Amino acid sequence: MTTATVLPIPVPQRPAVRHGVEFTARGEQTVVSLPEGTYLRIGEDAADLLRCLDGTRSRDEVTRTWSARLGPEPSTALLERFTQLGLLETETCTATAHGRRLSHRKPAMLQLTLYQPVRTVAVLARAGRLLSRRPVALMYVVLLVCGMYAAMTHRAPLTTSLLHPSRDMWWHVLLAMLLVNICHELGHATALATLGGNPRRMGIALLYYVCPAFFCDVSSSWSLPRRGRAVVALGGILVNAAVAALAALAGAADLAGQGPFWWRLVIANAFTITANLLPLIRLDGYLLLLAFVDEPYVRPRAMDDARAWLGRQLYGAATQPRLLQRWWSVPYGMAAMTMPALLIGGMLLALAPVLFRLGWPGTLIWALAALLALARLVAGILYVALAGRGADGAARGLKPDQQATGGG
């Protein structure tokens, strides 16, 4: 495959760790936090060498000092690697640290930052400590049980709301879900702040350039133990579960004479919980999976394993070593590759009636989104074909050194 040439960032004359880089020890590894929110995992020895870079020594002096411990070539390679990862002060990293409101996240996501909750971290942490107290937790469990009982004993109106939707009513539900989804992201931020992390950004994202969603940057959860990361991943889902339970109780009581609205709100939150728990795209379920396996880049590595398997089956490509050493790597990677197409296709079908009513502008937007989805599908097929016929290690998405330093 033809790839774009990326010019390497030169090693600074006097290497120094970037301002704002933080180190968190976790067993035999150290989590390194970068100012823009990236988190890397490196070994203890590499972390010790990185901490010693204070800008008082020249590049040659650093490599000579490290050579006694690592050897000349590994010392130079490690210093270059630190530079490329953005761990050292350079002009490029300084410009990036200021951040941009509109950013791109792989594989295909646009993020518009609307709020940086740095000043409210202490408030969120206090709220989280209050909500995590045992009496409050017990009240939450009682609420969920009562909500489930109300839904089970009112299956008829719940089923009617699902099978006989009202377009006017669904617009009201959509507006309510916008507010609920903001609270969902605040749930993640509160859980992270309570456990000592720092939610860096909140805003609106376009998943695969088509599906709109709110987001909260919880990448600092990589500095937490596995249980803490799982709690952060579940923070938003707990909000949706509470809203669904409250809506079920309101529907059972026919609050304000709006029973159908409350039952549709129950359905919307149940759908949101189910979709978020799927670990096939980078949503809450994927964060749970990362906490469970305690490895970075699970999804992209599994997708590379699936592509390699397809290339071997379809084109007789050479067997490639597994990037993710799990028995479920290939089936999970296959499902993860299929999920974006299903997501985009579902969104296009759902949006078609609305956009077509807008005349030619809406039709044009729908057509462009459909062409984008088709282009991504064709690109994926060509990727597998080219990788299978000209299979070499470069065709696979992650390099070995990237596997050891990722943040998720």
Domain spans of the chain, in order of start: 22-97, 103-293, 298-403
How many H helices and E strands in the chain? Answer: 15, 7
296, 406 Cβ separation under 8 angstroms? yes
Single-letter code of the amino acid located at 261: F
The CA distances from residue 365 to 48, 341, 351, 369, in Å, are 52, 18, 10, 6
Amino acid 243: pLDDT:
98
28, 43 Cβ separation under 8 angstroms? yes
Map residue 394 onto helix, strand or coil. Answer: helix
The β-bridge partners of 88 are: 17
Six token digits for residue 109: 């996501």
Map residue 120 onto helix, strand or coil. Answer: coil
pLDDT tens, position by position, for the chain (408 residues)? 333 434 467 888 888 888 777 777 777 778 787 776 677 888 888 888 888 888 888 888 888 888 888 888 888 888 888 888 888 887 666 545 445 677 777 666 778 888 888 778 899 999 999 999 999 999 999 999 999 999 999 999 988 887 776 766 778 888 999 999 999 999 999 999 999 888 888 998 877 656 678 889 888 888 788 999 999 999 999 999 999 999 999 999 999 888 899 999 999 999 999 999 999 988 899 999 999 998 888 998 999 899 889 888 887 778 888 989 999 999 999 999 888 878 777 778 877 887 888 888 888 888 887 887 788 778 777 776 676 555 444 345 433 333 333 334
Q: What angle do CA 392, 396, 397 make, to 5 degrees?
A: 155
Question: E-assigned strands of 5-156?
Answer: 22-26, 29-33, 39-43, 102-105, 109-115
Rounded CA separation 219/222 (Å): 6
Rounded CA separation 312/213 (Å): 37
The β-bridge partners of 109 are: 105, 207
Rounded CA separation 391/398 (Å): 14
Residue closest to 114 by CA, chosen among 216, 27, 193: 216
Rounded CA separation 195/129 (Å): 9
Amino acid 277: pLDDT:
94
241, 144 Cβ separation under 8 angstroms? yes
Amino acid 29: pLDDT:
78
Other C-beta atoms closer than 10 Å to the C-beta of 116 total 15
Strand 29-33 and strand 109-115: the pairing is: unpaired
Other C-beta atoms closer than 10 Å to the C-beta of 403 total 16
Rounded CA separation 116/217 (Å): 9
Map residue 315 onto helix, strand or coil. Answer: helix
Map residue 280 onto helix, strand or coil. Answer: coil
Six token digits for residue 370: 């459909």
Sign of CA dihedral 283, 284, 290, 296: positive
Amino acid 361: pLDDT:
86
Which residue bears the tokens 């970075």? 296
pTM for the full predicted model: 0.77
Angle between helices 226-252 and 259-277 (to 10 degrees): 160
